[in-house]
Structures are given as C-alpha cells and as structure tokens.
Structure 1
C-alpha cells in the first residue's frame, strides 16, 4: 500500500480490494459495483483510480498523450519505483520509443505469418482433437487449451527444452502487475531462475532460424530496431503471447460448454469460430485488468487526476458495460463482439491478436467438425492470478 495523495472530494471512494483472492475467484460483483458507481472511482487501499465503463476506458486507451504505459502497466509506478525487470517494449514504452519495435512486431506477426502458419496449425489442431475425443471425458485446459504451448513456441523458434517454464514465467509476469500479495510471493519463489531462463532464451543464439525471434533479430541487423531492443521484443512475445491465448481458448470452450444452444449454432456455422473466440474474450476476458499512469495532471470525467497517478483499467467490467452492449451478460454468437477491450485498443492494442485468433480458430474449427455436444462435468478449478482469469482445470464430457 502507498500513502494516499488526497484525491478530489467529488470522486466516489471505495476501500474494495480488486486483488483479494475471494474477489479474484468471483470478480463480477465488484466489477459491476465499480462500473455502476461512477465513471471513475478512487480505491483508497492502493491510492489508485479505477475505471470500469467502456467509453471512459476506451478514451484512456486511445489518449496515450495523457495516459502512459511508460509508468508501467502494473501497480508498480515506474515514475517512483524501479521495476523488477527492464520495461517491456513496446507494451511499457510510449512514442517515440515504442514505435520502431511496434512496427517490427506488426510486420513479423502480420498477414505473411498468418498465411504461412494457417495450414500447419489447422492440421495440428485436428490431430489434437482427434486424439482427445477418443476419451469422451477429459480436462479441456490440459487437452485443448494447451494447443498454443505447442504451436506458438515453434513459431517463435524456441528450443524444445525448458518450454514447461513458459506458463510459470507468464504467471509471474502477470502476478507482478498487481500488489505484493501472497499470489506474487508464490510466483516469485522462482523469480531469479525464470528471469535468467527467459534472458537466455531471447538471445539470438537460442532461437532457431526462420522463427519470429530470428526475424526480430534480423530487423536489428537492418537497423530497424537496436540490438538492445531485439531481446526485449522477443521477451514481449513470451510474456504476453502464451498465457493469454491458453486461457482465452479455455474461456471459449467454457462459454460453449455452458451455453449448449450456442455450441449447436456454431456447429451449423463453423465460420463463426473467430466470432466465438472474440465473444468469449468479451464475456470472460482472460486479461481482466491492467494499469496506465498519468505523466502529468489530467482533467478526466469531470475531475483532476494528479500527475503520476495509477489508473486501473478493468477491461472485464467494460466488456460487460450495458451502455455499450445489449444483454452484456449473455454469451451470444449472433452479436458482433468487435470492439471488445480484451486486446486493448489504440496504439498499444495487442500486436499479436491475429496470431491468437488463428490459434483459437484452428482448435474451435477442429472441435466443431468432430464434437456433437460439450458439457461441463466435475469441479472446475481456477488458477488465481492478480491480472488473468485463468483455469488449472476445466473437465468436460463430449459426444
């Protein structure tokens, strides 16, 4: 906790804790409360501001001149504290430092990569689904949600050994976006080990030719980015491109299992696989919340926010804002979910979102071609994280 900086008296105050473990297990009530209280709320426990409405969050995400990621996208304030790792580039850098790395990543992960990977990923997804459907009952997280753990590291060019560390590293990264609570303490028991591992992994000599990582280093050879920026760009793929997609695929399987009418509809319209993924990200966003920071005093939503103030952007609340979405609590494949904030928006919108959509489309299409019904069974088990809505286990039965 930090010392409060006397927020404006006009702003509603709350002592709620969005990082409390009970809240993380069931976040919707607090998200709804904060969203419906006011456009912006002061959370006294952490001396931060919180935004849960769609319009206001969109405004902050697109106004990078006033709301910065350079202060860190977690609770740690880089204007006041030294981060535990080098700031991510481009996700924790603002223009102009952000621009070159963003351009390189957009090129590396662009349409050419999608065309090159599409057939192989669809074939891989079909093989995985063919194998698991023989069991009729299985854990969707382990059997299907883990699909990105195979295809994405291959595409980056990672060695086979050590890939079991990817989820642990991602868990640490996203827990570190929150407070120094028990969740972070548990993740941080491997901080030194995982930090050294990922630093080594991002070096040129660790990456196989032809992968995303090698292409990033080739961009440094062409002087499109510096040699100092190249390993940070590779690391950004590993920090943001694995956990979020694993839990995103689990989210869409969960949504379809709990809404059998929508699964039946999808089976008649398999071309809606990507729509199903985006609607699942809107309905149950894996990336629940993150931060931006004011660099200087800002007027917003009728109040003055002091310089170097942290603002918690609750994407999961904005994605169910009834001001933006009709019947927002329903998972509905007839809806157009484009515009959801699960990937952010503006200049910092997720640069790898089309890769994630391709991974999800491959596995959902393979399922739709082979599975008649899905239903949840047994007891699902959440994996608690300060930022992600993640699952350790989600058992299902299929025909």
Structure 2
C-alpha cells in the first residue's frame, strides 16, 4: 500500500521479516523507487535509501544524531551516550580518537606481515582438503586471531565473543527476542572483569589501562573503547569475507582477473563490500527538520539509513547488482562516511586483502556451493558457505559457479 503523508511516501513494508532479511534487495529497490524518503509505519521510521541521500545524511551529524540511539529497540539503545557508536560531539570525538589510534593505516603496517603469515598457514591447510564451511573455517579465522593478538583479551570468556557480537546486532530491530537479550547479558560482566593483570602485555587493551592510570581516560571510557574493538569488528568482517569468497568463487572470470593482476585486490574488496553491504542500516534521530530533495523529515523523527540499499542504487552505479572488479566502488557506503565512519575500516580491509593475497600466491581455483543466508536483523551475510580451494589444474565435476 503506497500513499502520501505530508509529501512523504508511505510503504506497508516490514524489512525485518525473515524473507526480507535473507534476500533484501527487492525491498530495497521498492524503497528507492518510492521516493527520497519513505515512511515505514511498521518500524515507525523515515527510511532513506538512495545513494546520494544516504551519503549526505551520514555526513549531517549535527542534524541527524547518534546519541539518541542508532537502533530500533531500547535494548540496543541502552548504551546511548556511553558507547562510541551512540555518542555525539566532543565526547564522541575524544573516544573515537582513542579507538582509532592503533587502527590507523600507519600502525596496521606493523601487523600486516603477521596477519598474512597466519592466513597463509590456514589457507595452506585447506587447499585440496575438499569441501569445508568457509564461514567457520576461513572467514572467521583472522578476526578472531586479531582479538587474540592485537586487542589482547584473556582466554577466559573470549570464546563467547562471536555469540555476543551476533546477538548484539540482532537486537537492532524492534522487539528483540529473549535469547539475544540473554546472550548479550554476559558482555558487561566480561568487560568489567578485565584488569591490567588479565590482559596481554602490549595489546590494545593494555594500552587503554595505561591511559587510565595516567589520567587520560576514565575506566568507563576505556571499557567502551574495548567494546568498540571487539563487538563491531567480528561479525561484520567475517560476513564481508564470506561475501568476497562467494563472489569470486561464483564469478570465475573475476577471480582469474585478480590472479593475473593482484593489484586489483583492493578493487575486488571494495566491489564486494559495495555489492553485499554487511551492515544493513543504522538509525539516527533528527534534532531539527531535515530536508531531502523536496521532502521534509520532522524534528524528533527516527531516520533509517539503509547502507545496503544505497550501495545498489542505479542512480549511482551502472548495473549495481553485478559483481565487477573493474568498477570504481571506492565511494561505497558499506563502512559509512563522515564522523561516524567505521573505526575498524582499515583493519577490515587489511584482513580481506591479505586473505586474497594468500589465495593468489597459493595459485588456486575457488568453488562454492549455494550459501545459507542468515536472518540477523542488523547484518547481512551467510551462516554457512560451502567452499573448495583446489590447486589450479585439478579437474572437478561438482563445481557450482552460478552467480
């Protein structure tokens, strides 16, 4: 049902159904075609889905704020004002600067060779090993190792980080289920249990505790920074790697281009991230009337910024559903833009690039069977991805290379 309310198109569309979570792109197209702003009564939000409009909104942090919560449930928004993602102004700038310090490209150069060594060994063990679940056995490998080696968290409790991350993002939608609420209940006690004695010497967490001792940070700020290293950086990067592996395995000519010219690896990463934006959406609240083209979002409204919808906008990208590593997708919005751009973007890109570098060096072919889409309300990705990594020249008759 499409109507008109105060010049804003209204759609009877629920983006949080299992069907739309597994395959969101037709719903995204409906939103883009309906107008620059669409009101979704089910979630009581104003959705923005066109590329240029989402890009502008993400850069309008004075008008559309994060500090009132970026989710659609009180359970998700409970950390507003204390979590770097749900802060604004000077408080956000101070904490983000702390979080970003070890994530700057110049700092990450120091760990690139170690991450490359780790993923090279993992891939070597998987070559010619037959079918395996790439989400569990390859995509999750480096993010979990980064938590171990870089963040420096203790072993005890760390094994639940993937569970906490997935449950946390699943609570972004309205009326979260009890299982996710219970699952995330363990995050706060775990963070509170961390001490300088229990974390790894020289790790990022150890540096935060030293900043507390020096009076540069409060303990609450340090704890929030630790959460920013862990919860947003696990599932998002894991799912992005799954998409990248599937894209290349099901588009053999694109993988051949990457193998022949490894300088295309950064472009392959950008294009896959654009095409399959893992982060579906975040919300902001309009602290004043906010105009998009000839439509006005009222003051106080919750605004839904659709990253995945914007990245498939025909107004910005020609044939946006196509996976094309020759496309210039450097402006894609999967990691956001503006003051709240993903703090871990450089680490995520580094992990994806070294994975492809190791695959190219191994001189392999990639084969994928159909993946299993997940239904996480905040993240788009696969729960399972059957994959083979075979030395080139191996003859196979059971490959699935349909895109």
Q: TM-score, normalised by structure 1?
A: 0.91
Question: Is 2:354 the counterpart of 1:326?
Answer: no
Would the alpha carbon gap of residues 261 and 22 (structure 1) be closer, same or farther in structure 2, given more than 3 Å must change? same
Q: CA deviation at 1:363?
A: 1.1
Would the alpha carbon gap of residues 84 and 325 (structure 1) be closer, same or farther in structure 2, given more than 3 Å must change? same
Query: Retained in 1: the 8 A contact 2:76–2:168?
Result: no
Where in structure 1 are there 5+ consecutive unaligned residues? 1-6
Distance 2:148 2:316 in 1: 36
Question: Is 2:115 the counterpart of 1:131?
Answer: no
Would the alpha carbon gap of residues 191 and 123 (structure 1) be closer, same or farther in structure 2, given more than 3 Å must change? closer
Query: Retained in 1: the 8 A contact 2:69–2:80?
Result: no
Aligned to 2:89, which of 85, 95, 103? 95
Q: CA deviation at 1:193?
A: 2.9
Where in structure 2 are there 5+ consecutive unaligned residues? 391-403
1:75-86 matches, within 5 Å, as 75-76=72-73, 83-85=77-79
Question: Is 2:350 the counterpart of 1:358?
Answer: yes
Q: CA deviation at 1:127?
A: 0.2
Question: Is 2:179 the counterpart of 1:186?
Answer: yes
Q: CA deviation at 1:304?
A: 2.9
Distance 2:211 2:300 in 1: 34
1:1-399 matches, within 5 Å, as 8-76=5-73, 83-85=77-79, 87=81, 89-147=83-141, 148-181=143-176, 184-201=177-194, 203-377=195-369, 379-399=370-390
Q: CA deviation at 1:25?
A: 0.9
Distance 1:384 1:134 in 2: 31
Q: CA deviation at 1:332?
A: 0.9
Would the alpha carbon gap of residues 149 and 87 (structure 1) be closer, same or farther in structure 2, given more than 3 Å must change? farther
Q: Which moved more, 1:187-196 or 1:88-97?
A: 187-196
Query: Retained in 2: the 8 A contact 1:104–1:224?
Result: no
Would the alpha carbon gap of residues 8 and 96 (structure 1) be closer, same or farther in structure 2, given more than 3 Å must change? farther
Partner secondary structure for residue 325 of structure 1:
coil
Query: Retained in 1: the 8 A contact 2:67–2:80?
Result: no
Distance 2:225 2:289 in 1: 31
Q: CA deviation at 1:167?
A: 1.2
Partner secondary structure for residue 84 of structure 2:
coil
Q: How many pairs align? A: 386
Distance 2:289 2:197 in 1: 45
Query: Retained in 2: the 8 A contact 1:371–1:398?
Result: no
Q: CA deviation at 1:364?
A: 1.3
Q: CA deviation at 1:87?
A: 4.5
Q: Which moved more, 1:26-35 or 1:184-193?
A: 184-193
Q: Which moved more, 1:223-232 or 1:43-52?
A: 223-232
Give the equivalent residue in structure 2 for 1:3: none
Partner secondary structure for residue 228 of structure 1:
helix
Query: Retained in 1: the 8 A contact 2:262–2:360?
Result: yes
Would the alpha carbon gap of residues 336 and 237 (structure 1) be closer, same or farther in structure 2, given more than 3 Å must change? same
Give deviations 1:265-293, integer Å, cap 9, x for gaps.
Answer: 11111232222122111010111111111
Distance 1:243 1:119 in 2: 23
Query: Retained in 2: the 8 A contact 1:49–1:312?
Result: yes
Q: Which moved more, 1:17-26 or 1:144-153?
A: 144-153
Q: CA deviation at 1:35?
A: 1.1
Give the equivalent residue in structure 1 for 2:397: none
